Amino acid sequence: MAQAALALLGVTSVAFLLVSLSGDPAFILLTPEAGEAQRAAFREMYGLDQPLAVQYARYVAHVARGDFGRSFAFERPALTVVLERVPATLELAGAAVALGIVFGVPAGMMAARLEGMWLDRAVMAVVLVGQSVPTFWLGLLMIRVFAVDLHWLPVSGRGSWGQLVMPAVALALWLAALLARITRS
């Protein structure tokens, strides 16, 4: 329990520090036309005018009560904003896992069956690339090619299968490569 509490304190400290280092929310969220008086009022309303130690103590006390604060951007409780997006996250994760299994396991079985042959080496080369390419870079590349250049798929959104294809494939490639390696072994 002590280790879990220490880990939780470490995670909250890192999260708080990263958010603090990202910049002044008054400059990020308010329009460029906002005056210094509006920025000062914004900082005061959210307690951002307090010293960092006071902000951190308040943050830890609120998180301990299960209060994750209000979203600056949406003006609603932050936990509500996160929970609204859980179904989309589960849908994307499910599609990525399904694609990873559907393509990774058969590729690994084929490579194992044809061990030492050219097809085995080709599958393992694709697997190497699949595990080496960063997912975010693959996603950006897919947006550029399939959405911007070819106009085959939408750039973003949720609701249709076309909007799920690129993010699911980008996430599934790494898993498929891992499963192919494990299955082949």
| pLDDT for res 30 | 85
Beta strands in 25-97 (DSSP E): none
Sign (positive/negative) of CA torsion 38, 44, 47, 49?
positive
State how far the Cα of 174 lies from the Cα of 185, in Å rounded to an integer.
Answer: 17
DSSP characters over 115-183? TTSHHHHHHHHHHHHHHHS-HHHHHHHHIIIIIIIS--S-SS-SSSHHHHHHHHHHHHHHHHHHHHHHH
- The structure tokens 């396991």 sit at 105
State how far the Cα of 54 lies from the Cα of 61, in Å rounded to an integer.
Answer: 11
Q: Which residues contact 99 (CB under 8 A, 6 or more apart)?
A: 168, 169, 172, 175, 176
State how far the Cα of 163 lies from the Cα of 142, in Å rounded to an integer.
Answer: 12
Contact 154, 146 (CB under 8 A): no
Enumerate the domain spans of the chain: 2-84, 86-184
| pLDDT for res 116 | 87
| pLDDT for res 19 | 82
pLDDT along the chain (185 residues), means of 10: 91 87 84 88 88 89 86 86 94 96 96 91 92 94 95 90 93 95 93
**SS3 label, residue 99:** helix
- The structure tokens 């008086």 sit at 37
| pLDDT for res 68 | 86
| pLDDT for res 63 | 84
Q: Which residues contact 170 (CB under 8 A, 6 or more apart)?
A: 135, 138, 139, 142
State how far the Cα of 81 lies from the Cα of 74, in Å rounded to an integer.
Answer: 8
The pTM for the full model equals: 0.73
Sign (positive/negative) of CA torsion 65, 68, 70, 72?
positive
